Amino acid sequence: MNTQTRRRFLGTMLAAAASATGRSHAASPASANTLAATEKVMHDFVVNRMMDGDGLCRSSLCAATGAPWTNADLAKTDQRLIIDMFQNSPDKAGCMSYENALMATGEFAVSQIVRHRVTKDPAARELAHRAIRAILAVIEEGRHYMPGWLPKPFGGLRNARNSHEMSTDQYTKAIVALYAWRPLASKDEQVTIDRFFVDAADFFVARKFRHAYRHRTIVTADTHHHALGLFVPLVVLAAKTSGDAGYRKHLAAFSAAMDAAINDEVLANFNMTSLMVEGYHVAMQAGLDDPRLPQTIEMLWQRGAKRVDANGDAYDNSKPPKTDSEATRLAAVATIVEPLDPATRATELAPKILARQTDPRKMTHTRLPESIAEVAVTSWLVAYWRLREWRATKAVTEP
């Protein structure tokens, strides 16, 4: 790319997000404008369709209606996966709507925090705060069982304290969002956030970093490597906020799993890539100097990028492969990856992925094709605003 072309490219990115027709070509103004228009579609879908009255972003909306499932309509779908997920719950639709609510809410909060940095728009800060308040409200409901317990808020906030389900995925994205919000938080909120980091660390320390997942398995860092995206930053944050360096001693228990994760092909899954990269990145920001963190992030990107074709279309690892809208989760970490390894040119691939996803109702779960993949939508927004910030920064720092 010559100097004149690069300057034209960076100038375009000041006004809109990057979009590329090939890995070695800059975006045209038209493609950048297209991404800006799609951002409005994604944003409006989250605010008007996904976000409930408490600020939680509902998950797995019905693709046919763009609304939460009803129990009557959900009963008409293949019940094998639904029963596996929600067992004998009398309100499976209520469970479905909040299965990934904490992940989606956390990602939307991050997108608006970055949007606020880029645009200084107070509306972005308020939306981020609304999402953060929702996460903090679920944390408070979880305290009715035990400090540090973060339940999946099945049925919404009003029923969250009755939920017996959790996952490292939801914890990870909640913690990433809370860490991102903390510099903007009031003193009281900072205290609440710091207390949760410590409470959550204590919760897992007491359980030797093991927890039951649904009815069928026990999750540990050794058996489920993506749990490292939670456990590693959590003990680092607990040590930092409490002043108790003893929390870091637990990192030794994860060492074998951290070594194994570097070459774990299972982690090529876009969800696991997102969790690991974001969690490890928080640990690095919080002061953990371990070469395995950037090494793993780079390897995760390389594996994920192999599942994206020249047009920006992505595929899962099923046989035969299915198109996968959750590649936006890979796009969302591009600006984390490229500073670690500029040779990845991650920020050129990311806008190509975004350009292929323009309609939330077509961004469905690979395992639940009748349902919208909520984190595909929220990750789209994270990727867009991070790219905006990245291009603006590059335009200022490069001639």
Q: Tell me what percent of the residues of the chain surpass a pLDDT of 70.
A: 91
Q: Is 53 exposed, middle or buried (0-12, 13-18, 19+ CB in 10 A)?
A: exposed
Q: Is residue 350 one of the residues assigned to a domain?
A: no
Res 274 pLDDT > 70: yes
**Residue 22 confidence (pLDDT):** 34
Res 28 pLDDT > 60: no
Res 245 pLDDT > 80: yes
Res 372 pLDDT > 90: yes
**Residue 4 confidence (pLDDT):** 41
Query: What is the number of alpha carbons within 13 Å of residue 352 lying toward its C-beta?
Result: 20
Which residues constitute the domain of residue 127? 51-197
Lowest mean pLDDT among 87-91, 218-222, 367-371, 382-386: 87-91
DSSP string, 81-99: HHHHHHTT-S-HHHHHHHT
- The three-state secondary structure class of 126 is helix
**Residue 398 confidence (pLDDT):** 66
Res 91 pLDDT > 50: yes
Lowest mean pLDDT among 117-121, 138-142, 216-220, 277-281: 216-220
In the 8-state DSSP scheme, what is residue 316? -
Res 35 pLDDT > 80: yes
Q: Is residue 80 one of the residues assigned to a domain?
A: yes
Long-range contacts of 158-163 (CB under 8 A, 24+ apart): 159/94
Q: Is residue 251 one of the residues assigned to a domain?
A: no
Q: Is residue 109 one of the residues assigned to a domain?
A: yes
Burial 241-263 (b: 16+ CB within 10 A, else e): bbeeeebeebbebbeebbeebee
* Residue type for position 236: V
Res 214 pLDDT > 60: yes
Q: Is residue 166 one of the residues assigned to a domain?
A: yes
**Residue 31 confidence (pLDDT):** 67
- Residue-averaged pLDDT of the chain: 91
Beta strands 217-219 and 211-213, pairing class: antiparallel
Q: Is residue 101 one of the residues assigned to a domain?
A: yes
Q: Please state, in angstroms and rounded to a whole number, the distance separating the CA atoms of residues 130 and 136.
A: 10
Q: Is 189 exposed, middle or buried (0-12, 13-18, 19+ CB in 10 A)?
A: middle
- How many structural domains comprise the chain? 1
Q: Is residue 192 one of the residues assigned to a domain?
A: yes
Q: Is residue 74 one of the residues assigned to a domain?
A: yes
